[in-house]
Amino acid sequence: MRSLGKGKKISPALLKAIEESRISIVIFSENYACSSWCLDELVKILECMQAMGQLVRPVFFNVDPSDVRHQKRSIGEAMARHEERFKNEMDKVQKWKSALHNLANLSGWHVKSGYEYDQFIQEITDEVCKKLNSIFMHVVDHPVGLESRVSEVTSLLEIDSSDGVRMIGIFGIGGIGKSTIARALYNFVADKFDYKIFIANVRENSIKQGLEELQKEILSEVLMEKGSNIHNVNQGIAITKDRLLRKRLVLLILDDVDKQEQLQALAGGCDWFGSGSRVIITTRDKHLLDVHGVDKIYNVKEFNDDEALELFSWKAFKRSKPEESWIDISKQAVFYGKGLPLVLEIIGSELFGKTIDEWECTLQKYKSIPNRKIQEILRISFDNLEDNEKAIFLDIACFFKEDKLDHVKHILNACGFYPNSGIRELTDKSLIAVKENRLWMHDLIQDMGREIVRQESPLDPGKRSRLWFHEDIVRVLNDNMGTEKLEAIVLDLPRQVYEVEWNNEAFEKMKNLRMLKVAEYQIGCFSKGPKHLPNNLRVLFWDDYPSSSLPPDFHPKKLVILELRYSRFALEQPFKKYDYLTHMDLRHCSAIKEIPNISQIPNLVDLSFDGCKNLVKVHNSVGFLSKLVKLSVWGCTSLKSFPPLVKLTALEHLDFRSSSKLERFPDVLGKMEKIRFIDVGETAIKELPSSFGYLIGLEKLCLTKCIWLSDLPSSFLALQNLKELDMGNCPKIRKCLRMFKKHGQVIEGLVTSILNLVLLNVKYCDLSDDDVFIILSSFHKLEKLNLSGNNFVTIPTCIKELLYLETLQMDYCSFLHEIPEIPPLLRDISTDFCRSLTKQSSNILLSQGLKEVKNLHVQVPGRGIPDWFDHRVKGGSLSFWVCGNFPVITVCSVFGGQEELWLDFQFNLFINGRRVYVFRNTYGVKLEHFTWLHDLRTDMSSKQWRDLDTYLHHDWNQVELSFALSKGTVNWCGVHAYKQETDMKNVLFTNPDSENWSMASDHFDEESEGYFSCTSDEDVEETEVEATSPQTKEGKEDEIMELKKTLGSWKIINLAKRIHHHVKLRPGFYGNSRNMLIMGIFIIISGGRANLFKHEFGIREGEKLLKASQCYFCSAAGLIAGALFISTEKVAFCDELVRKHQFVIPIEMIKKVNQGKKMNQPAQEYIEIITEYDGEFRFIGFLQYEKAWLNLLMAIS
């Protein structure tokens, strides 16, 4: 949104502000339509919404939305005056009417007299912020010319038609704005689809990741989960086509497609998608679209002169147009842009801040190539770079596009460049961009950079500065074509099996090679190692290096990075002097048995020998690397000892995890203040040395699965910075805890030394009640505590003194019987498999005290929903209704089985019929009943939580919660709204009848067609059930009032509204409503539903009535008002007093039941029962449809 500065001409300035805004808030009042100025603005807002996808939200301030929509009352009177005043400009008046109607149809706010305006303003502010943050993709900073192009493509989409599937192509040369248009289209139409998927950079990502990964990305958007099981493209096609997309309303945008197989794998045909879906494809190749059968193709136009000048001006002057004295020279510059947005941006950025003389000099260069390709114009920007920026630009163009910024900086630094200033300069000149900590470059720019390198020697790749195409590289290596001109080689071999035929002397001539990177996806592509490597190398990456040693004449004095992962390298000789080497990664080199003297590498920062399974000895020199920050010896399964840590004063990260034979932690021979993390989990360590206390900077220590560890030194108490301690699965560690106890008191040293511990994991440590008491009495600042799998019986009452404890895990504590108290901030509690826990303790964990605790998660034995929950129902699903913002809620379910089961549990959240969130987990349940309670925010990201509001499109939106198990049953479920964070006026746990009444009335007036084609006006009124002739309005009202007197406290009018809302009836509405009311009277007279059921149909021993619902039976004669009874033995129906339609269906005779559920059309919700003899019985107009359906399912199951 934009604001107007003081003194601007209001009308033009406001129209401009509207155009540049992302969202418009329209405030309709009683006198809104009196102003032609306001109506002109409204037309502009509608144009921006339709052309650019601008968000619009109306506010109806003391005016009925239908008055605005249909131009009635004060709005209609104002429009009548405009028709008289502008009778010669009726086109303008018609536009005003159309704008009023269309924008008043949008979801917004209805503010009535007496509303708290401060609260209302805050609601709007929150809503706008969430909409802006969650829906829009960033399109472009200056949307010049975008409106007309988006409008033209939108017309091809035919978005309002749900007939069939449309595939639309957007094509044009690189840099013309195809992706920009696609992103703008996404913003404009995405909210009209159930699933919207934008796959960017298909061309490049299909090469880097494979088409399978892009198929997974599509499926993850539809299924709202990661890790779809796709192992090849054909399998992905089958899953995508046959199982997931065919019945779904999908918007799929495939950006930058360049091969037919990409389209076949990602959008094979229109029959893949549900009717109404749209597929948008951007490409440089129109032939691809033709072959794929895309008949609606938009050819992106180049900018006209005015558009080009405006975009150029934004880059060159930071304004929409140049000053008068700069117009002529600006037009000269724009001429060379050839109407391409990207080129115009680059030229404008290049000239920004320069004098007219400098402009003329630059433009003089352009004049020498007036008719050459666009790449040659882009070359001008490259030629103006300094040598450092040129080298960085070419490296990024050839090797590092989309790589992580920090990784690229590290390599460029190693090569002797200055990446901080260089990358900043390239960004300023629009040659690259940094997004989400990755380097990005437009395809046209990348092509230009690579073409510069190719032109260095078009026919002889060995004479170029950089090689990246694997066929060129293999040719140079095989034919020994290398020269001194080669600076960098990055070889990414294809994923298929590929054996490289090469001359192992090929590197001898490459004297100036600074970077060599060989990344193999298939092991063994090189059968022999190199005889020579250039001594000028700064960076050497070679996965699966094929030799046990480096060449004997290799003396790279300036080598900075050495990575020989998964290779045959044996490290048999001591390293020569490598003063510049900072990073050495020899992970998974199984030939390495010993780390030799590395004292000649004094500047090592990062050293890794992970997975070197045959490593048995490490030289003492490792302990003297004073600049080492990270040392990782993970998974070295033959290593038994490690030399002392003597001068590792800079070390922050030390990892011995899974080195299963390591028996002793190395001695620490000096204070280590910078150490932050140590992991010795899954080792054979029996004790920690007394010098362990020198690790004074240590914040996180992992000792998990050190099954022989039985002692902690007293110096351990000195670790005052320790925050996280993981001792899980250390069965002998309880001895250490008992050492801290002296004469029944916890020793003071423990309390004062590690007082700040916030996370403690002691699961499966064979802990007793005394051990737990020591823990709870010692660590008063704990926030997370895991006591799972231990043998204690009772949680001591001192747990209430842990004032910061938020998470408590006690799973598999088979003897746990009592939890007498809980801490005040506890919000995540888990007691899976705690079979002995008392009902009283479970109740404490689900107590009223947790009612307003945020991010709550509880798993305990139990058979009931806490009574402080707002809404509780039997079965596995429930519904409630919300408006405004999505409420902050906790959900709960009770489930379990009769025997020990591993249950796959799934929770689904639907809004207006669309699944918007799914939670899955596996639980071990050894109980008859188990209660699961969960705050949705616990597992949702902040973006997922914000996105929930984007699915609320109506005044009242139906939210459905469903719980499902792989085994066992879901017995109960419930929902609770946090009152402190939720406006409860916007939450209803029953269908919002009064709100829907006015809506239903409008709908009823406009739609006279009955839902069932077999029912006519005459049919309804002539049946015996009606038994009345048409009455006057007064007569009907009298009869209703008489019924009201009879029913007393029953709210007849509300009941009639319910019936009206649930059933689309024709003029026989009053008669059917009358019969339904009479049915209600008869139920009361009979002594209630249960007595009526017993009297009319009888009841067998053990039979239980599950549900009695007032509804309508769809007979050949029309709709029959009555009651449907569902019991454990039968389904029965009886009409009102006449008793003509009364029947019984035994449960065993039911073959099938069907559900006709339409979230936005409750009038059409029905239940259909089909018997073994194919008899069909349909019921409609339930007052509590969901409960009737769930009880029917329960009966037949």
* 41 catalytic residue (yes or no): yes
Residue 768's closest CA among 731, 726, 727, 716?
A: 731
Q: Tokens 């379990």 belong to which residue?
A: 896
- Alpha-carbon span 1002 to 72, nearest angstrom: 14
Residue 105's closest CA among 1002, 983, 886, 959?
A: 1002
Chain centroid, CA 362 distance in Å: 47
Residue 799's closest CA among 811, 790, 808?
A: 808
- Alpha-carbon span 308 to 729, nearest angstrom: 68
Structure tokens at 660: 């299963």
- Alpha-carbon span 492 to 993, nearest angstrom: 64
Contacts of 474 (CB under 8 A, 6+ apart): 500, 501, 502
What are the phi and psi torsion angles at 970 (to 5°)?
Answer: -95, 115
- Alpha-carbon span 268 to 450, nearest angstrom: 32
Residue 167, CA distances (Å) to 183, 193, 292, 595, 705 in order: 16, 15, 10, 60, 56
DSSP string, 824-873: TT--EEE-TT-TT--HHHHHHHTSGGGTT-TT-EEEEE-SS--TT-SEEE
- Alpha-carbon span 1133 to 1175, nearest angstrom: 15
- Alpha-carbon span 373 to 369, nearest angstrom: 9
Structure tokens at 144: 């010049």
CA-only gyration radius of the chain, Å: 37
Structure tokens at 469: 């195409």
Q: Which residues pair with 434 in a beta bridge?
A: 439
- Pairing relation of β-strands 857-861 and 828-830? parallel
Contact 414, 563 (CB under 8 A): no
- What end-to-end distance do the CA atoms of the chain give, in Å? 55
Catalytic-labelled residue, pool 19, 20, 30, 41: 41
729 DSSP assignment:
T
DSSP string, 491-541: EE--SS--PBP--TTGGGG-TT--EEEEE-SSTTSB-S--S---TT-SEEE
- Alpha-carbon span 231 to 1154, nearest angstrom: 36
CB environment 1073-1084: b (16+ within 10 A), e (fewer) = bbbbbbbbebbe
Residue 599's closest CA among 565, 623, 631?
A: 623
Nearest-5° Cα angle at 416, 415 to 420: 100
CB environment 798-824: b (16+ within 10 A), e (fewer) = ebbebeebbbbbbbbbeebeebeebbe
Structure tokens at 653: 């990260």
801 DSSP assignment:
G
The packing angle between helices 178-189 and 146-157, to 10°, is: 60
Q: Which residues pair with 1145 in a beta bridge?
A: 1131
- Alpha-carbon span 1136 to 1176, nearest angstrom: 21
Which residues form the catalytic set?
41
